């Protein structure tokens, strides 16, 4: 299991109110105790933006987070605890403040060719696929391509020298001790067609690029982990994931939450079959990175209407699914926050270590709204309460940690009966059946084996179990 860590909001190590590497290093024991096996570190490169996805220097750490020495120490301490660390690397674009872009504006080579400039006025008609926003930004007497907004000029990997620069960037971070990468916007390296003048995902060219980057990285660290972010349908995700080894499964995250919202075991079964077909046999070419939320999504508790029981039920479903789980920071406390594409800070609020909202290590870089002090949501309040959201969440995570074989298991059977999902997982030497009651009513189910309650309440009798509403059990 990997923990998605946003440094700015997690833990402050130098007293300036901004989370940093020193603060995160001090909290590594917390992550290990929580049951994590790895950390997905959101961008830490030099950047003017709070989120870090607009980079000004691919070879340095953002000064608000620390320096290279502190990064080496963080990685070394993580490795002492057997925690792998992968870096979120946005190779698709830079900041307008990047030296490359500024030198390109001056007409300097090779930087001029490292960005995509308007060559035909008809290209100005191109629009972003998901919201029809303009993709060309005017500057001086020309336009640059900026799919993710004016502050993010896209890089042009048609340039061989830039392609080689991408390799050097990977070499740099791997040499510092990172265990791999989460590649941001993987399908966007080539997403504009000069022929048509439109935004088009040139998947074959993208996959060729990433195959080269992965091959290069494996020469440096044969055991490196690569995760692709491709927010698309199953078929497209599959095409990319085979190159990386692990691909984020966005469709599955929606299947779980929509099935809960609609109280439909049938929806889950149908959706699971459509988004996880590679787990029904042993001949799979990649793993799914499974999750319920991340930094680009509304937080789990908020997405289920503030219902903690439903949020914990969703987590119990996730830990019973094959693949590699990724958990967003703060979800273990039941933090809330709605994602808004224009103002998307709400789901990135500071991790509440203290009930008062203040104390050593507490980040204060932004005002909080959804996760206010004195609401019982802090780690300080929840850690010692056996009935707290945190304690229940931690217990669910522990179930997955204690059954690591689930990650590569085969789905032997999957069906719906009387509002319950029955899923049997099998490996060479192990087998387990999970039963989930996706309804507001208690349901009798035929179940054989030792019952392990994940969430809710179940009572067994003569191979039959009464599952209370929104109850999950594992049968060994």
Query: Do 247 and 421 meet the contact criterion of CB atoms below 8 Å apart?
Result: no
What gap in Å lies between CA 36 and CA 27, rounded to an integer? 12
Neighbours of 97 (CB within 10 A): 16
What gap in Å lies between CA 9 and CA 20, rounded to an integer? 9
User: Rounded to a whole number, what is the largest CA-CA distance in the chain?
Assistant: 80
SS (H, E, C) 140-194: CCEEEECCCCCCCCEECCCCHHHHHHHHHHHHHHHHHCCCEEEECCHHHCCCEEC
> Rounded to 5 degrees, what are φ and ψ at 37?
-110, -15
Closest to 427 (Cα-Cα) out of 413, 408, 414: 408
What gap in Å lies between CA 181 and CA 89, rounded to an integer? 7
Q: Which residues contact 203 (CB under 8 A, 6 or more apart)?
A: 187, 236, 239, 240
Strand partners, 466: 444, 459
Q: What share of the chain is helix, strand, coil (3-state, %, to 5)?
A: 35, 20, 45
Report DSSP state, residue 27: T
Please tell me whether residue 236 adopts helix, strand or coil conformation: helix
Closest to 24 (Cα-Cα) out of 81, 100, 98: 81
Neighbours of 144 (CB within 10 A): 22
C-alpha pair distances (Å), 136 with each of 139, 142, 248, 271: 10, 10, 29, 37
Q: Write out the H or E segment, with its range, that includes residue 115.
A: none
Whether the ω angle into residue 173 lies within 30 degrees of 0, i.e. cis, is no
- Specify the residue for token string 């004016």: 150
Catalytic residues: 184, 229
> How far is Cα of residue 233 from the mean position of the Cα atoms in its chain?
17
Which conformational region is residue 419 in: left (phi greater than 0), alpha (psi within -120 to 50 degrees), or beta?
A: left
> Rounded to 5 degrees, what are φ and ψ at 321?
-100, 135
């Amino acid at each position: 299991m990997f923990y998605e860590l946003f440094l700015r909001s997690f833990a402050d190590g130098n007293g300036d109110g901004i989370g940093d590497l020193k603060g995160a290093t001090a909290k590594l024991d917390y992550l290990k105790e929580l049951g994590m096996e790895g950390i997905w570190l959101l961008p830490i490169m030099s950047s003017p933006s709070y989120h870090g996805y607009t980079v000004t220097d691919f070879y340095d750490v953002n000064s608000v987070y620390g320096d290279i020495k502190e990064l080496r120490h963080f990685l070394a301490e993580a490795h002492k605890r057997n925690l792998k660390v992968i870096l979120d690397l946005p190779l698709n674009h830079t900041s307008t403040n990047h030296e490359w872009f500024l030198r390109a504006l001056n007409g300097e080579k090779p930087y001029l060719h490292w960005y995509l400039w308007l060559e035909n006025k008809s290209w100005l008609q191109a629009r972003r696929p998901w919201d029809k926003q303009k993709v060309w930004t005017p500057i001086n007497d020309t336009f640059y391509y900026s799919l993710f907004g004016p502050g993010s000029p896209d890089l042009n990997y048609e340039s061989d020298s830039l392609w080689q620069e991408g390799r050097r960037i990977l070499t740099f971070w791997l040499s510092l001790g990172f265990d791999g990468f989460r590649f941001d916007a993987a399908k966007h390296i080539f997403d504009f067609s000069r022929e048509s003048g439109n935004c088009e995902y040139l998947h074959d060219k993208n996959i060729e690029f990433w195959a080269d980057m992965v091959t290069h990285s494996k020469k440096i660290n044969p055991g490196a982990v690569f995760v692709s972010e491709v927010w698309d349908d199953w078929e497209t995700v599959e095409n990319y994931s085979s190159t990386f080894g692990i691909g984020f499964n966005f469709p599955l995250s929606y299947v779980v939450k929509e099935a809960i919202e609609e109280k439909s075991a049938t929806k889950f079964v149908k959706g699971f079959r459509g988004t996880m077909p590679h787990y029904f046999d042993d001949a799979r070419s990649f793993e799914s990175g499974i999750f319920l939320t991340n930094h680009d999504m509304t937080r789990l508790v908020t997405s289920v209407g503030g219902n903690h029981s439903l949020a914990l039920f969703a987590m119990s479903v996730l830990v019973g699914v094959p693949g590699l789980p990724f958990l967003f920071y703060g979800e273990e406390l039941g933090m809330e926050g709605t994602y808004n594409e224009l103002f998307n800070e709400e789901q990135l609020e500071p991790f509440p270590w203290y009930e008062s909202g203040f104390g050593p290590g507490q980040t204060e870089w932004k005002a909080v709204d959804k996760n206010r002090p004195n609401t019982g949501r802090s780690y300080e309040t929840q850690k010692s309460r056996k009935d707290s959201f945190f304690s229940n969440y931690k217990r669910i995570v522990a179930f997955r940690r204690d059954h690591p074989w689930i990650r590569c298991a085969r789905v032997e059977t999957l069906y719906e009966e009387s509002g319950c999902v029955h899923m049997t997982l099998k490996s060479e030497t192990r087998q387990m059946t999970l039963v989930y009651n996706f309804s507001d009513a208690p349901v009798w189910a035929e179940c054989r084996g030792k019952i392990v309650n994940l969430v809710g309440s179940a009572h067994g009798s003569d191979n039959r179990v009464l599952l209370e509403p929104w109850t999950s059990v594992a049968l060994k």
